[in-house]
Structure 1
Amino acid sequence: MKNFKKEETTEIKTTENQNIIQPYTYFTSRSGTRSFSINGIPNMSARCYMRIDWSSSLGNYISDVTNIQSSFIGITFGNSWTQLGYDYNIRNNGKKVTANIHGRYDYYLLIDTSLTHIAGKNKSYYFEFEY
């Protein structure tokens, strides 16, 4: 695993349905984080929360993305980031998530000891998370 933290695994027990025994299914929730520099000092960071299932034919695979959160980190004085949404795709037989995070930058100037909003723009960032 490249950028995921392992967490506790939960088991869905075997069930019988019309004399057909279904196999054990295991799943866990994991998260991965990616960061990159924006114009030098500040960084954009994104954290992807997902559900990992096990299949006898695929092994472990990403079955669902439950949330993606982004933040603006580092020296960010005079700038702010607000995430407005995200979209994602699960690719490579459930081994990779590609995501676009959409948000808004707002820019501020210090005038008479107070931050004053001067401009803003919408922006999207592309991230990849690999399992």
Structure 2
Amino acid sequence: MTTCVLCGMGEPVADAAGIGIRACPVCGWLVGDVPDADLPRPRVDVVYYLRWEGRIKIGTSAQPRRRLAAIRHEELLAFEPGDRVVEHSRHVQFAHLREGGEWFRADAELVSHAAALAGATPPWHRHARWVADALRRNVS
């Protein structure tokens, strides 16, 4: 199995149009394209939703792998694109569930919100797509 050179998760497959171009099903990166190692990776800020027992942390990071590795949690529920402005709006939206800091009671309302953000796509797959899209925008 050959994994994607960009995200390392998908095995490239033929595109839906059937014209023979192979791309990663996770991030959409085209086979043969190589990210320029001399250029910095684009900044992709995300708001994350982490569950620990009966609580959910709503936070933000431009480096979610590093950030989530530092936070004790049981499950990554979702990502949404956004920075501190989006994070703050979520803190205001769910203020009635706040238990302290960035932790909120895992009430059905908040759990449903996170589930709607996630949809059927795993959070890390969504993040990989956003990074690939940002790289494509930087090259164009």
Shared fold (TM-score greater than 0.5)? no
Query: TM-score, with normalisation over the residues of structure 2?
Result: 0.27
Which structure dedicates a bigger proportion of its chain to strand? 1
Structure ranking higher on relative contact order (CA contacts 8 Å, 6+ apart): 2
Query: TM-score, with normalisation over the residues of structure 1?
Result: 0.28
Which structure dedicates a bigger proportion of its chain to helix? 2
Find the structure with the greater CA-based Rg: 1
